[in-house]
Amino acid sequence: MFDLIRHKTSSHKTDVLSGLTVALALIPEAVAFAFVAHVEPMVGLYAAFIMGLITALIGGRPGMISGATGAMAVVMVSLVVEHGVQYLFAAVVLAGLIQISAGVCKLGKFIRIVPYPVMIGFVNGLAIVIFLAQLGQFKVKDASGNLVWLPQEPLMLMLGLVALTMAIIYFLPKLTTAVPSSLVAILTVTAIVVGLDLDTRNVLDFLKTMSGNDNATIAGSLPSFAIPSVPFNLETLYIILPYSCILAAVGLIESLLTLTVIDEMTNTRGRSNKECVGQGLGNITSGFFGAMGGCAMIGQSMININSGGRGRLSGITAAVALLAFILFGASFIEIIPLAALVGVMFIVVLGTFEWASFKFMGKVPKHDAFVIVLVTTVTVFTDLAFAVFVGVIVSALVFAWEHAKHINVTEEQNEQGWKVYKLNGPLFFGSIANFLELFDPSKDPQDVVIDFKNSRVADHSALEAIDTLAERYVNAGKKLHLIHLSADCKALLHKAGNLVEVNQLDDPHYKVADDKLDS
């Protein structure tokens, strides 16, 4: 529906302009996520600056934007409420150390095991989450402190400005791509609102609504170094370790999946392990400079890619510009209409959602379609990390179930008159029940051969099944011959003892997955 990739090449000019666009879009997001985590707005803004700068400098995916995120903010809430913000800073530092360890141990490569249906569910779910988050901009607090929709006239004005923003972003690239259409849209709508003195909500109004403070502002100073003020003992470690592990996992999952999405969009390849290290160092620095930490932000990353940002300069510009806004340009940024930023995010939603998934839902296997819907739903109603775990587990179980049905045998007789079973298909934990049902020792002749040439003994459950079958033939007073087994399979067939003959002819050389091989 919308071609998100409007710039095919990168340049310093487009990187700088794209970074400025992203910096503007970062402000309301960082403030909102700070309130979700029950911390001051500046804690979220500092996180957007620090995470954005460090990951842009040393991360594994140029063009990807990092900052404070909702996925991590929801994990932080209970820690802040129960123990205070200093424990949050300590937990973020520990989470960063865990992420660096993951990168050093090269665990980032395991993001490749995430199936494509899970990826589709991931982007669809995040698109819906981003859309729902923008609806809050159309609400204000009533006298009781509850959020209610704007009155009709202000609501219609805001919707009109959102539509104008989206129209500029969509149609301007058809005329020129010299400047990012998102930046032009934000500046144009801001100029219209200020020039015509239109009564619509801006960034400052949003900040006041979120904080309940009429004197709220995004103006601030440079972040300062400070060691988290917590006791350095085992009790503190016991408190923060569970949160740190969850934060590290959520941050890496969202970052690496976002990296994968951008890889596919730009036809390039990022470095997942290097990104783990970059995310970790960013979180460690955040914890020591009074920031809430974070991870990759798919919405802002899409804005950057859509605006032409491909190099590291785009992320660096976004981070430095954000800090400049905090230090020097707060009064200018605070007058930007929320409608302009909402319009930008709506375009991100349209570009992020995998609309083609509706077309091929009826063409892909039913279990893949189910996984797409499941991951999308779980992402919307819970969180990203849990949704990905659920999707991967369900996909793995479906894979095991489908392959469990592929095992079968063909029967023949050799020159010695023995019955030969030629086994076909993988033998693993999911197929052992079907495997055992293929044989009937009571009806077979005295000598039986099982040929594993067209099979693959995959795990210890398969070895146990072979042992069980051998015992059945032994108990029936018959001789079982096994051929074409790998060396490690033969070494681990311990239960059958010498009662089963394992021939050496043309044995394969693969390894079976079994922890006893390491002993």
Q: Element (H or E) spanning 449, and its range? A: strand 447-457
Q: Is 405-518 assigned to CATH 1.10.150.120?
A: no
What sign has the CA pseudo-torsion 70, 71, 77, 79?
A: negative
Distance CA 28, CA 31 (A): 5
Per-residue pLDDT at 188: 96
CA distances from 61 to 117, 256, 270, 360, 519 (A): 23, 9, 5, 30, 40
pLDDT value at position 337?
A: 94
Round to whole Å and give the CA distance between 269 and 41.
Answer: 34
29, 218 Cβ separation under 8 angstroms: no
* pLDDT (tens digit per residue) in 76-87: 989 999 999 999
Q: Where are the domains of the chain?
A: 12-137+147-354, 405-518
| CA 284 – CA 287 distance, rounded (Å) | 5
User: Other CB atoms closer than 10 Å to residue 417's CB: what's the count?
Assistant: 9
For residues 205 and 210, give the distance between their C-alpha atoms in angstroms, rounded to a whole number: 9
In angstroms, the Cα distances linking 412 to 145, 420, 441 are: 80, 5, 16
State the pLDDT at residue 6: 47
Task: Show the DSSP H helices in 229-271 as ranges.
Answer: 234-266
- The alpha-helical segments, DSSP class H, found in 419-484 are 432-437, 460-475
Beta bridge partners of 481: 449, 501
Task: Give me the pLDDT at residue 511, please.
Answer: 58
pLDDT tens digit sequence for 182-220: 999 999 999 999 999 999 999 998 888 777 788 888 898
- Indicate the DSSP class of residue 151: P
Q: Measured between alpha carbons, how far is 446 from 418 in angstroms, rounded to an integer? A: 8
User: Would you state the pLDDT for residue 505?
Assistant: 47
- The ranges of the chain with pLDDT < 70 are 1-10, 488, 490-519
Helix H segments across 176-233? 181-195, 203-211
103-140 pLDDT, tens digit each: 999 998 888 788 889 989 988 988 898 888 888 888 88
- The SS3 assignment for 246 reads helix
